[in-house]
Amino acid sequence: MPRDEPAYQTLARTLRDALVRGSYPEGVRLPTEAELAAAYKVSRQTVRRAFQDLVADGMVHRVPGRGTFATPRDGRYLRQFGTIDDLMGLSIDTRLEVVTPLRRRVDVEAAARLRLTGDAVHTVVFRRVHDDIPFCVTTVHLPPRVGEVLSGEPTLTSAGATSATTVIAMVDTRFPIAEAEQSITAVLAQPPATTHLDCVPGDPLLRVDRTYHSTRGEPVELAISYFLPEHYSYRVHLRRAGGASTSA
């Protein structure tokens, strides 16, 4: 959580996590502004600002005279990512399924992107599932020293293994993460995405590349993911650099 995060954003983040965990199913009213203000010891204006963020994200909708309710998700996976911790939080409501176990291999392009002196990396391919629907397939490349440490993780070394955690969370416990670089492009589906997602060659996919850096500034993971647009929405919250934020 950002150190200087306004109170309303902290509350919105807490409520967003509760929503994705299913704590407020469709048709169940969320607590009122007064109830949340008392529970979290904040002002009603802070709660109102948090609700405004959730409405803008499409997470909730407000019914005059009745209250605030979770928005039906229609099978689409929706989360807001603003921090590294948010990315690790994918384990809250999704499951990792190993397609190709972690192994050492030669990949010149991946090694170059990880700024390695050699051509060898450790690679694992997995898909991520939400409500039994696969919505993403990811190839993760790790520097040899990171891959060798994770080679003892049974959830990454057996095809078909499942896990409630994320690879980046596993990496972070050994090599603390400080930041990530990300690029997003639209592409046409090709193997292995067509093999492990419900799509055919030529279908549109969202490609997201992330390179994670440790607190020492070293690249420790390159993740290349392909998402089905009909099952996934991607949103971010942007603020002006240097702008002072205040909370009610």
Prediction pTM value: 0.65
Q: How many CB atoms lie within 10 A of CB 198?
A: 12
Domain 7-70 is in which class?
mainly alpha
**Rounded CA gap, 88 and 172, in Å?**
9
Report the CATH superfamily, name and number, of domain 77-235: Chorismate lyase-like (3.40.1410.10)
CA distance linking residue 196 with residue 134, whole number of Å: 8
pLDDT at 1 over 50: no
Mean pLDDT across 132-152: 92
Domain range summary for the chain, segments of one domain joined by +: 7-70, 77-235
Strands 120-130 vs 177-188: parallel, antiparallel or unpaired: unpaired
Query: Do the first three CATH levels of 7-70 and 77-235 match, i.e. the same topology?
Result: no
Q: Which residues pair with 213 in a beta bridge?
A: 179, 219
CB 1 within 8 A of CB 83: yes
Question: Average pLDDT, stretch 212-226?
Answer: 92
Residue partners of 219: CB distance under 8 A and separation at least 6: 113, 114, 115, 143, 211, 212, 213
Three-class SS of residue 127?
strand
Say what the pLDDT of residue 243 is.
46
Whether residue 244 has pLDDT greater than 50:
no
Phi, psi for 231 (deg, rounded to 5) = -120, 10
Predicted local distance difference test score (pLDDT) of residue 63? 80
